């Protein structure tokens, strides 16, 4: 059996008349962190939105755990265990930390299981446990990102789509978020990571794809991309 859990095959996506994705091919293997690199507007976030059906692919095929999900409804994709943490965190600022987390398990009928998952998130993010009664809007940027990831973990995802988790955060908090991503992966979560901080992304990831104007222009093991002269110049400040 193949260890590929998520694949995109010649996927095309439009925003109206704008051709956003131009026949991209991506594979994510079980247990990997795979990263998408590229400048703003390259199509990285659109790729994640297309996978999670926020935006519909106009052609091509998206396969998750052996099932074609190209035309699947977003809520069904979530139920399958493919969870998207969008850019900008998108927490509910007027709800408490606990309420935000519980929304991540709203389809779960078993209250004992919900409580177990909540405790598991609090074990991973002790700061959220300390602030469980606070409104989401009162948290720092780093804590809001932890809350967004924690809410996704309430579904016990098979694959996590992370869009710009370090955006707008102080360098010390970026390091902390990087450690969280690494730990989640070590615990068994497969991750497709979009990240402007290419240095962090390539340090975390096993494999990487480089996008430019809606196409994949390069792919390789992350260690090799870190040594690639064009990648160093374009993204790593070399």
Query: Over the stretch 6-57, which tens digit does the pLDDT of each residue have?
Result: 999 999 999 999 999 999 999 999 999 999 999 989 999 999 999 999 999 9
Give the end of a domain, one of 132, 156, 180. 156
Structural domain count, the chain: 2
The strand pair at 4-15 and 59-64 is best described as: antiparallel
Phi, psi of 133 (to 5 degrees): -90, -10
Cα separation, 81 vs 220, in Å, equals: 26
Do 118 and 59 sit in the same domain of this protein? no
**Helix, strand or coil, per DSSP, at residue 64:** strand
pLDDT digits (tens, 9 = 90+) for 86-139: 987 789 999 999 999 999 988 788 899 999 999 999 999 999 999 999 999 999
pLDDT recorded at residue 88: 79
Give the end of a domain, one of 102, 121, 156. 156
pLDDT recorded at residue 1: 43
pTM comes to: 0.93
Parent domain of 231: 1-81+158-238
Give the end of a domain, one of 134, 156, 178. 156
């Amino acid at each position: 059996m193949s260890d590929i859990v998520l694949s995109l095959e010649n996927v095309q996506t439009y925003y109206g008349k704008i051709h956003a994705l131009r026949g991209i091919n991506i594979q994510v293997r079980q247990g990997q962190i795979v990263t998408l690199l590229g400048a703003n507007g390259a199509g990285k976030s659109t790729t994640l939105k297309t996978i999670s059906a926020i935006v519909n692919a106009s052609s091509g095929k998206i396969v998750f755990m052996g099932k074609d999900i190209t035309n699947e409804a977003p809520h069904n994709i979530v139920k399958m265990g493919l969870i998207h943490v969008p850019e900008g965190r998108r927490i509910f600022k007027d709800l408490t930390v606990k309420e935000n987390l519980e929304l991540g398990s709203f389809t779960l009928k078993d209250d004992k299981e919900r409580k177990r998952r909540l405790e598991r998130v609090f074990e991973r993010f002790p700061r959220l446990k300390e602030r469980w009664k606070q409104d989401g809007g009162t948290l720092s940027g780093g804590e809001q990102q932890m809350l967004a990831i924690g809410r996704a973990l309430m579904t016990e995802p098979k694959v996590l789509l992370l869009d710009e988790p370090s955006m707008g955060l102080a360098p010390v908090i970026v390091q902390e978020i990087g450690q969280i991503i690494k730990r989640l992966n070590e615990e068994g979560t497969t991750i497709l990571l979009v990240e402007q901080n290419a240095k962090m992304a390539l340090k975390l990831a096993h494999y990487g794809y480089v996008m430019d104007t809606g196409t994949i222009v390069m792919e390789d093991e992350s260690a090799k991309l870190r040594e690639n002269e064009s990648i160093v110049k374009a993204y790593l400040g070399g």
